[in-house]
């Protein structure tokens, strides 16, 4: 999908939040990835080529990117502040490589456990777990 196609779909559907997994963007991609009325939050793969994740947040929402301080797992955590005393929402865009080891999975579960009791959670990504029934 091209950037123009993405923008057309987002505008047509009027989404507040859009997450993209496996962007494969480089450092120069910031300007061309910008969309009107959206703030761009991205996490590129550190020290290796490829993958990466992006969350677009409509400008009317305050947000905070949370740094998990760990590059073992590839997750982008974005806290969305809601108005009128409504609870905040945590949006998570994750990529789990098919060959991810058990130790990295444990780190991910720990992070998830720290966040999930506190906030409503919107959980998206590519988990590469074909044997799991996602329905």
* Tens-place pLDDT, residues 17-56: 998 887 666 666 655 677 889 998 877 666 666 567 788 9
Q: Work out the average pLDDT over 126-132.
A: 84
**All structural domains of the chain with their residue ranges:** 3-126
DSSP string for 26-47: -GGGHHHH--TTEEEEEEPPSS
pLDDT at 134: 74
Q: Work out the average pLDDT over 54-62.
A: 90
pLDDT at 31: 58
**pLDDT one-digit tens code per residue, 63-109:** 888 876 666 778 888 999 877 667 889 998 888 888 888 888 898 88
| CATH class of the structural domain 3-126 | alpha beta
Query: Taking 90 as the threshold, does the pLDDT of residue 13 lie above it?
Result: yes
Radius of gyration of the chain (CA): 15
């Amino acid at each position: 999908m091209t950037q123009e196609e993405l923008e057309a779909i987002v505008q047509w559907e009027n989404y507040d939040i859009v997450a993209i997994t496996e962007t494969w963007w480089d450092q120069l991609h910031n300007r061309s990835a910008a969309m009107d009325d959206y703030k761009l939050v991205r996490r590129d793969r550190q020290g290796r080529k490829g993958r990466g994740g992006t969350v677009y947040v409509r400008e009317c929402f305050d947000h905070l990117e949370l740094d998990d301080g760990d590059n073992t797992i590839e997750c982008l955590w974005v806290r969305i502040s809601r108005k009128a005393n409504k609870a905040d929402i945590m949006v998570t865009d994750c990529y789990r490589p098919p060959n991810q080891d058990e130790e990295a999975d444990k780190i991910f579960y720990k992070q998830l456990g720290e966040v999930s009791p506190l906030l409503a959670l919107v959980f998206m990504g590519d988990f590469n777990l074909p044997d799991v029934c996602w329905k």
